[in-house]
Structure 1
Amino acid sequence: MTIHKEGYTIIAGTALLLLLVNWGVRAFTPGMDWLHLLLVIMSIVFLLLIVQFFRHPKRVVSKDEKQIIAPCDGKVVVIEETVETEYFNGPRRQISIFMSPLNVHVNWTPVSGVVQYFKYHPGLYLVAWHPKSSTDNERTTIVIRTAQGVDVLFRQIAGAVARRIRWYVQEGQPVEQASEMGFIKFGSRVDIFVPLDADIKVKLGDKTVGSVTVLAELKEE
């Protein structure tokens, strides 16, 4: 377990701010040892929460070109047939994973292939489970074409707390399944759109492990 690079500045800034707050309280409230001790304890707990959010686990993955793996840790909150209008303009099966602030927030590539489409959308910050969050919130849309010619689309979606999405891919770039492709800071959601004939391997309420859990299997040609 290591700390993700996206957390270095935030962790350092938080630690510095907490040190200044503790110093200021001690300077202006001499003799109130109970208050100083309470503030130190609260500061340590808060800093540990920030640190755990940016944890970056090392995981053993088994790649399979027929499988679509979870791009993130979280909970499956949507499995439904829908019409995807940005890229496919047609029906697809949507799987949505909600990421709480306690989840690992690294994002992984669900399939191997070549990035066919990428677009960043600035937007609102509705709660991640809101029906319009996938179309109105800050988000990215990424489409990867597998070696078999199947396009898989997934979206990083910012939530009410998350206000910064990071991505490390671009159009035309070849990517490997389970490689790190981005990060969403604090609570958020990822939507995955798969072919209608894909064999779904998860159900509502399932907990996913990013780069490990199999969401679906593509139909063999």
Structure 2
Amino acid sequence: MTFHKEGYTSLALCILFIFILNAVTQFYYPQAFALKWVIYILSALLFIIIVQFFRSPSFAINTGEQTVLCPADGKVVVIEETEEGEFFKDKRIQISVFMSPVNVHVNRNPIGGVVKYFKYHPGKYLVAWHPKSSTENERTTVVIENSKGTSVLFRQIAGAMARRIVWYVKEGDKVDQGQQFGFIKFGSRVDIFLPLGTKINVNLGEVVKGGRTVLAELTA
């Protein structure tokens, strides 16, 4: 388990806040032992929350030309046939994964190939499970085409708490399946759009793991 680079600033601010809070408590209330223990406990909890939120687990990634890996840790909240209107402009199978604040927030490429399309969209901060969050919230859209010419689209979507989306890809990049493509801070959602006829391997409400759970199997 490692600490993700996106958390360095947050961790530094957390440590500074804890240091100031404890110094002020010690200076103004040197005899208030009960208060100091409360501050110690709260400081420890805050530190643990920041560390666990920005954790970045290491694991072996099993790749496959036909498999679609889950792009994020979380829970499957949508599996439906829908119209994808930004890039494909046709019917696709949408799978959405909701990430709570306790999930790992690293985002990973569901397939390997070439980034054929990338766009950042500024937008609103509706709650991540709102039906319109996929088209109205701040978000990124990425399309990867594999060596067989099959394309998969996926989106990072900011939620009510997530106010920073980070991405590491651009059009023309050659990327590996399971490789990190971004990070979203403090809970949000990732949508993935698959060709019709794709075999779906997960169910609504299922807890999934980014880079480990096989969401689906491509048929072409």
**TM-score, with length taken from structure 1:** 0.97
Report how far residue 31 of structure 1 moved.
1.7
Q: Partner of 2:193: helix, strand, or coil? A: strand
1:22 partner amino acid: N
1:68 partner amino acid: V
**TM-score, with length taken from structure 2:** 0.98
Residue in structure 1 matched with residue 205 of structure 2 by the alignment: 205
Query: Separation in 1 of the partners of 2:83 and 2:194?
Result: 11
Query: Separation in 2 of the partners of 1:26 and 1:160?
Result: 36
Residue in structure 2 matched with residue 32 of structure 1 by the alignment: 32
Residue in structure 1 matched with residue 140 of structure 2 by the alignment: 140
Report how far residue 26 of structure 1 moved.
2.6
**2:164 is equivalent to residue 164 of structure 1:** yes
**2:94 is equivalent to residue 99 of structure 1:** no
Residue in structure 2 matched with residue 7 of structure 1 by the alignment: 7
1:100 partner amino acid: S
* Contact kept in structure 1, 2:14 and 2:46, CA below 8 Å: no
Structure 1 vs Structure 2 CA RMSD: 0.9
* Contact kept in structure 1, 2:120 and 2:140, CA below 8 Å: yes
1:119 partner amino acid: K
1:197 partner amino acid: G
* Percent pairwise identity: 57
Query: Separation in 2 of the partners of 1:57 and 1:29?
Result: 40
> Residue deviations 1:84-132, cap 9 Å, x none?
1111111100000000111100011000110000001111111111111
Q: Partner of 1:15: helix, strand, or coil? A: helix
Matched ranges for 1:3-152 at <5 A: 3-152=3-152
Q: Partner of 1:88: helix, strand, or coil? A: coil
Matched ranges for 1:180-195 at <5 A: 180-195=180-195
1:151 partner amino acid: S
Query: Separation in 2 of the partners of 1:21 and 1:181?
Result: 36
> Residue deviations 1:145-186, cap 9 Å, x none?
111111100000111111101110000111110111111111
Report how far residue 25 of structure 1 moved.
2.4
> Residue deviations 1:130-151, cap 9 Å, x none?
1111111111000001111111
Give the count of matched residue pairs. Answer: 220
Give structure 1 stretches of 5+ with no counterpart. none
Q: Partner of 2:21: helix, strand, or coil? A: helix
Query: Separation in 1 of the partners of 2:196 and 2:28?
Result: 64
